[in-house]
Amino acid sequence: MALEGRVFRPRLSGAHHHLQGCAAAVGDGIVVMSRMETLPALVGRRHDEGRGFLARLLALYFGYRPLIVLFMGLYLLAIHLAVLGLFWRSEWPGVAAWKLGLGTRWVELNSFFGSHIAILRARAAAVAPGATLYIGDSQLAALDTSALTDHAVQLSIVGDTTRRVRLRIRDYDRAMAQARMVFLHVGTNDLRWRRPNEIARLLRRTLALVPMQVPVILSDILPVDERVFGDYGNAQIAEANHILAHVCSEHPNCRFIESGSVLRDATGNLDRRLHRGDGLHLNVEGNDMWRRALTPLVAEWRSFPVAPDAGDYGAFQPARAADHR
């Protein structure tokens, strides 16, 4: 026939012209592809694809369900262990134990303390004979002890308590045996964790570790500004200082010194001009005032001339009670 081998192209009416397809000859057949698909058909196809993906996902889950559940359980366990580890490394477990009446050991002997005792142990081991050792908390750590006595060695740790000093002072046996004097400033942080009368037992054990031939200077607990500091008050400080003086009197090589009175204002509080704003820690002027008050009290362990302003408080006039209203 004359039509053999030709492609038959039907003529479409104008009404159906928008559905005209393009024909492609493949072998002996004819494939007609539509240029456009109706919207319902497209949505239906996408829906079928989504159902197929969900079906495959469910099949994967149920096929490997034990392994997936195990992995999820291990993942949640790892997250909880990480959170627990961060919590355990903080101070809150110790605070919780203290609040529950389990003692203050965990809150006092924290990681900060542990990291510093090794440093000070090494420092004390290298101290030459004839040193004056200063052992205490952040107040003493901020003081320029080299202006007070010869060969001053600073062995103070921020946040120190009598319990902590008792534990670490044993590391300084060699330095203390050859020291000319040991200066102790403890009790400030004790009042956060224990009553004043509970300090006595710890202090006795601490003083017993100092060689009898080495003089010990025990400083008083400095006043606080009760208007901004609320952990404890000056009444507790006065009671604690009385106990410190009594315990010190039991040891022939111990001398208790009172130096905090120069830091008080007319209301009996730590002068607000002498602290950093927290009512406890001394600022530059406060440290200078405290140093000048201590200078004549440790004069026998100092061979160098004292600063001209030592013991002179004329430049600083205590505030009047009216200034604090």
Please report the DSSP string for 127-188 in residue order.
PPTT-EEEEE-HHHHTS-GGGTSTTEEE---TT--HHHHHHHGGGGHHHHHT-SEEEEE--T
pLDDT tens digit sequence for 87-101: 666 665 655 655 665
Tell me: pLDDT of 6 over 70.
Answer: no
Q: Which of 133, 248, 139 is nearest to 190 (CA)?
A: 139
Alpha carbons within 13 A on the beta-carbon side of 66:
0
Residue 25 confidence (pLDDT): 40
Distance CA 275, CA 279 (A): 6
Residue 87 confidence (pLDDT): 64
Token duo for residue 75: 């993942």
Residue 82 pLDDT level (bands cut at 50, 70, 90): confident
Q: What is the mean pLDDT of the chain?
A: 81
- What are 302-307's contacts with CB under 8 Å, separation 24+? 302/148, 302/149, 302/150, 303/150, 304/150, 307/147
Mean pLDDT of all residues in 152-177: 94
Determine contact, residues 29/7, Cβ cutoff 8 Å.
no
Please state, for a pLDDT cut of 70, what percent of the chain lies above it: 71
Tell me: pLDDT of 315 over 60.
Answer: no
Residue 129 confidence (pLDDT): 96
Token duo for residue 283: 């600022």
Tell me: pLDDT of 225 over 90.
Answer: yes
Mean pLDDT of all residues in 197-202: 93
Determine contact, residues 116/157, Cβ cutoff 8 Å.
yes
Q: What is the largest CA-CA distance in the chain?
A: 137
pLDDT tens digit sequence for 22-77: 344 444 444 444 444 565 555 556 666 667 778 887 887 778 888 888 888 888 89
* Domain 109-303 CATH assignment equals 1.10.1200.10: no
